[in-house]
Amino acid sequence: MAMATRNPIPAIHEALERVDALPLQAAARCLNGMSLLIAALAISACGRAPSAPVAAAPAPTSAVDQPANPDFIGRIWVANTPGSPRGSMLVFLPDRSLLMDSCFETYRISKWGVAGERIRWLEDTIPIEAEVKMPSSNELTLQIAGQDRVQTFVAAQVPFVCPDMPR
């Protein structure tokens, strides 16, 4: 004798009608809070496309915000000033981030900007201002305000490998 398969849909509808007929408190006891939460989240997510993250538009820069000679921006500059930590380098990025690093010290990322004829940035909450000069397309000098010593840099050659640590 073959068994007939029963359609489960009418049974589900009957169960829902019974829950609807119960007082609100009894219905709440039938379903625990977690299943209600899951059901609510599932229902609220149905039919909506996921929203794409909104990228922040870069702030427009005017000619006033540009340094007198912007050719140093977007290049890797390696220090050749006597007494500088070996492999010290600066990268002034167009988005006004400044990466400072050396082969043997921790790197630092800060913001840089233009202050009249100078550029400026923060180091350990200390504002630094410097006059920028480029004696040639591959040389950069920074005259830090209030210091006599000029910091000199050359454009990094690719590939660049940090020098060995002195022993």
Between strands 126-136 and 108-115, the pairing is unpaired
For residue 11, give the 3-state DSSP assignment: helix
Residue pair 94/101 in contact (Cβ under 8 Å)? The answer is no
Q: Each residue of 31-59: pLDDT tens digit?
A: 344 343 333 333 334 444 444 444 443 44
Q: Is the pLDDT of residue 60 over 70?
A: no
**Domains identified in the chain and CATH numbers:** 9-45 (no CATH), 66-155 (2.40.128)
Q: Is residue 2 very low, low, confident or very high in pLDDT (cuts 50, 70, 90)? A: low
CA distance 138 to 151: 14
pTM confidence score: 0.60
Residues constituting the chain: 167
Q: Is the pLDDT of residue 63 over 70?
A: no
Spell out the residues 6+ positions from residue 143 whose beta carbon is closer than 8 angstroms to its own.
130, 131, 133, 150, 151
Strand partners, 79: 153
